[in-house]
Chain A
């Protein structure tokens, strides 16, 4: 069945061929959803269930999109885990502790993320240290700075903030008391990144970077600029989630956010992005994120032990990588037959 549809698509172009893992991600999502729909019952299939996993998907999804792009370009970003609390702390500190307007707080929070992303990008492009190590280092540095500044300025590791109604409306409200407004932002980001990766010429550059950095540079692609830009994008998106969290929960804490590191990588890999770079798609990342979120929330509706959720996510990750590989092989052999 699936090999049929894949071979008919592969006739179109090589670009399509590379994006075939989407099929695997889609099947994975459907299987996982049906599994939890049976266990979770009517509530899970209804609006409360959908909004529950979509709320989770939106936050991790906003971070998974640029992390996925980076991975396609052959880079990792671990520092997102400390950018989330750093940005939410900045917002709460500026607008909560110092009573500045919400716009300044939000701007401050987002700038922190962009700045950290810029530092990541610089370190990765100017040195030979692998991005995994660079961003781990930056993550710890940012974590320490966040804690240090919080204790220095507020004398406390958590800051509360009652947001301005407009800010709350835009970033922290629940539509129909259920759907977090971040879901809409997530879709917006997805559209933007879809344009960048699949329509604009920048997309081909990103794929080329992950395929072969040396050849990409020789072909005239400004590799350093693209890499720094991608790190700034992931810093911005992680900071955006941090800002949205303050608006939603009216509080920022120096710890927290660590879960986003592995969760975002998980979403991206389940979505069929090649860990070594050069292949992947936005639709795949979206499907991977949705699958991850369904499992994450499904366990609570299915009344399973929450630790079972972690086991399922772990197993899913392995199955996803295996099946993506076989789909890719299938696709490549199909293409070889044609030529």
Chain B
């Protein structure tokens, strides 16, 4: 055991000694590698890392074992990256209270930092990071609203199955504002919290709502399961085709629905791009001193609809979407 550990440390030391001056060693803090969303982010980071590797650098993924103690665990990973001699660090600001001191230590050590996935440009500004790469909940909803308004739907409702959750409220506010921007009106259908995860309850609520409010011709659901339930509710109300549905995120059955035309669009935060651009920005900065003056690099929302669904399906097979 001990001997093995010794070997590994010497190997790691030898490795870092040979590469430290050649290229940029970039450390990326992210979610569990077996988490479906984070596996796409990781793939993006590693694809961008191929350039770093060609230059003699490296990309190292640091993820927690589980999400039970997320803030402190992630802060620990950030400090590990500093200790391992990172030339640049990418990290999400999931729990600012626990993680901000670690990010401040990165900046204090003079290591270039990019915040991605969570925290927004506010976190990047607060911490002195170079940039923020990620999606914004409000804009995801907004994109769906604008998309449906453009398609001729003028009266929308956002199905909120988690009243009180800040990110869900941001989805719904964005959706309603997006509809208004496109010349329509929006409202929110608040469901009791007990209906979360209960497809039948969501479907029947949606159905009652569209029957009682016949002027509604567009709906937005906050997740893939709710989207399937909302579509079922609309079909049961006999309004398939006259009420268009968009939803957050997608899976195989949602892509099939988009292809079949029963769902208008799905909104994706495009995790692959978060890893890809964060690593690219830092690698180019460390190697050549370049900067990206555009603050807040938005990787989402991406709209999946009938026009690009085949490409998305190919992307799913490749593991990038």
Binding site for B on A (CB under 8 A): 40, 43, 48-49, 51-53, 55-56, 59, 151, 155-156, 158, 160-162, 174, 177-178, 180, 245, 248-251, 253, 255-260, 262-263, 296-297, 300-301, 303, 305-307, 309-310
Contacts and interface: CB of A to CB of B under 8 A. Distances in A.
A43 B224 contact: no
A253 B197 contact: yes
B34 interface: yes
B229 interface: yes
Interface in B57-71: none
B232 A249 contact: yes
A116 B256 CA distance: 34
22 contacts: A40-B212, A56-B204, A59-B200, A156-B36, A158-B224, A158-B225, A178-B236, A180-B200, A249-B229, A249-B232, A250-B228, A251-B228, A251-B253, A253-B197, A255-B197, A256-B196, A257-B197, A259-B197, A300-B208, A301-B208, A303-B212, A310-B192
A151 B204 contact: no
B42 interface: no
Interface string B173-215: 0000000000000000011101111111101110111011000
B317 interface: no
A56 B200 contact: yes
Interface string B94-124: 0000000000000000000000000000000
A300 B207 CA distance: 9
B252 interface: yes
Interface of B: 34-36, 39, 190-192, 194-201, 203-205, 207-209, 211-212, 224-225, 228-229, 232, 235-238, 251-254, 256
Contacts of B194: 259, 262-263, 310
A250 B192 contact: no
The main secondary structure of chain B at its interface with chain A is helix
A301 B36 CA distance: 38
Nearest to B252: A160
A256 B204 contact: no
Contacts of B236: 51-52, 55, 174, 177-178
Given A49-B211, A256-B199, A296-B204, 12 more contacts: A43-B212, A49-B208, A52-B211, A55-B204, A158-B224, A160-B251, A177-B235, A178-B236, A248-B199, A249-B199, A249-B229, A251-B224
B191 to A, nearest CB: 6
Most chain-A Cβ atoms within 10 A of its Cβ — which of B203, B204, B224?
Answer: B204
A259 B225 contact: no
B299 to A, nearest CB: 21
Most chain-A Cβ atoms within 10 A of its Cβ — which of B208, B224, B235?
Answer: B208
Most chain-B Cβ atoms within 10 A of its Cβ — which of A162, A178, A250, A258?
Answer: A250
A297 B204 contact: yes
Contacts of A49: 208, 211
Given A158-B224, A259-B198, A52 B207 contact: yes
Contact of A249 (B192, B205, B228, B256): B228
B206 to A, nearest CB: 9
